[in-house]
Chain A
């Protein structure tokens, strides 16, 4: 213990001892005999680049796009169902066109706790608000030229981002865009890259649990979007029969469970394979 001296009077000794004690207590409180630390989500489990999950999501989306466009929209139009860009208008007895189905899914996705972003855009969009600008426009040029996805970090929002080509998969995509009065391009052909889906997530790496949550969130978005269509279809003057049958069988719509079961049948094997490869 320090003894009081002319250079180190009693008061200074006391103050030094007091502050030493306070610091010691603070150090013990903060470091020693510490309780279970809060989980640090970035380091607790093995993780893979989010890029791999984006590829899985894009494949899931491509499967849904084909299912919706071919089995509901194209077959439905032949069976007497209508699809319209103003389908949300109560006076319009119609369902969402493929791009709007994707937007519905993206909106529903936001209701989950998973911070996954999904957007659809183009360099020739029907709605001006979907026009790519800035870095997205530059990236999309490369997507259009190569057909391969682009991955980048949108630093101002701290989001890892991917852009995947959105291809005209059915004659309806081409005819609708070519014939639309607000379309800035009217010579689209089947298999053309008409735009791109943009996916974003705030982390560069994800754990297997997060990857599963992200995929589940996208699927719940799809299910919610289809549920929204069924709700609207129930308001039609002549509602289609909802059950096990599909529009290819006539004026029918599958239930939400039937629709999602068919989607899962088409998508799940590929998704499981990709997950196993990513985390092996």
Chain B
């Protein structure tokens, strides 16, 4: 079988011009999406979480130190064993510091740093409790992404000596009523409110699920430590 005849010169030129033009338009579009702040939603992983709508990408995604070339070189050296530490490329991974920068509290009933104590290994392994993002995965368009029964990981042996609740905490644990915890307890304890002392006064599970999904707060809006941007 003979090979197909090559395109005549004029057709080839048109093709080349078309390829070049296509490449330029595609590159310009990609560059515009990446660079223009208003286009951020096109390349974000998903919608911002509850209360984060007004944040700019750069509020959390900080530039990594060095030029792109320095970062690449550092990475290659790390892969080859010529450097002890890896280097971030493009942006520094978002960590707890970015969260606590706005959500700073002098008091927190479950501060994330607490889970870095060795004895909380189970909470780290099962829940990733040492990282804010384990419960609040960003770009999901909700408030909380953790399952409702997560309290079970640490509080299986819970016993309150002078239990103020009409049904003892020990009994609730025995009944495995883990979906009821947040009906009385705001996880971070950041709301000025009186905790219920009757189980039937607890907020229904459906209300809590709605709250975690971004709905209204059953705990009220009176925060002990409001965020810098006033998120609830």
Contact = CB atoms under 8 A, between A and B. Distances in A.
Interface string B134-172: 000000000000000000000001110110000000000
B91 to A, nearest CB: 15
A72 to B, nearest CB: 18
B106 interface: yes
8 contacts: A40-B83, A43-B84, A106-B113, A107-B113, A110-B113, A137-B119, A154-B118, A156-B125
A110 B111 contact: yes
- Across the A-B interface, give the 8 residue pairs with the lowest CB-CB distance, nearest first: A42-B84, A154-B118, A119-B117, A136-B119, A133-B119, A110-B113, A38-B66, A38-B74
A38 B119 contact: no
A133 B125 CA distance: 15
Interface residues on A, range: 35 or more
Considering residues B73, B113, B157, which has the most beta carbons from chain A within 10 angstroms of its beta carbon? B113
Interface in B51-80: 65-67, 69-74, 76-77
Considering residues B111, B116, B125, which has the most beta carbons from chain A within 10 angstroms of its beta carbon? B116
Contacts of B108: 107
Contacts of B124: 156-157
Contacts of A29: 69, 72
Contact of B121 (A35, A88, A111, A134): A134
Contact of B117 (A108, A113, A198): A198
B100 interface: yes
Nearest to B192: A90
A274 interface: no
A121 interface: yes
Contact of B118 (A30, A34, A35, A134): A134
Contacts of A156: 121, 124-125
Interface in A101-115: 104, 106-108, 110-111, 113
Nearest to B96: A110
Interface string A34-49: 1111101111000000
B118 A136 contact: yes
A30 B76 contact: yes
B97 interface: yes
B29 interface: no
Given A37-B70, A135-B118, A182 B162 contact: yes
A111 B104 contact: yes
A182 to B, nearest CB: 5
Contacts of B159: 128
A159 interface: yes
A185 to B, nearest CB: 13
Contacts of B162: 181-182
Contacts of A88: 107
B176 interface: no
Interface string B89-118: 000000001001000101110010110111
A260 B161 CA distance: 38
B13 interface: no
Interface in A139-175: 154, 156-157, 159, 161
Contacts of B84: 40, 42-43
A149 to B, nearest CB: 14
A26 to B, nearest CB: 10
B119 A134 contact: yes
B114 A119 contact: yes
B106 A35 contact: no
Considering residues B77, B87, B106, which has the most beta carbons from chain A within 10 angstroms of its beta carbon? B106
B72 to A, nearest CB: 6
A40 B73 CA distance: 12
Nearest to A152: B118
Nearest to B111: A107
A1 B111 CA distance: 67
Given A111-B100, A161-B118, 6 more contacts: A40-B84, A107-B106, A108-B106, A119-B117, A134-B119, A157-B130
Contacts of A104: 106
Contacts of A61: none
B72 A30 contact: yes
A117 B124 CA distance: 16
B6 to A, nearest CB: 14
A95 B126 CA distance: 36
A42 B83 CA distance: 9
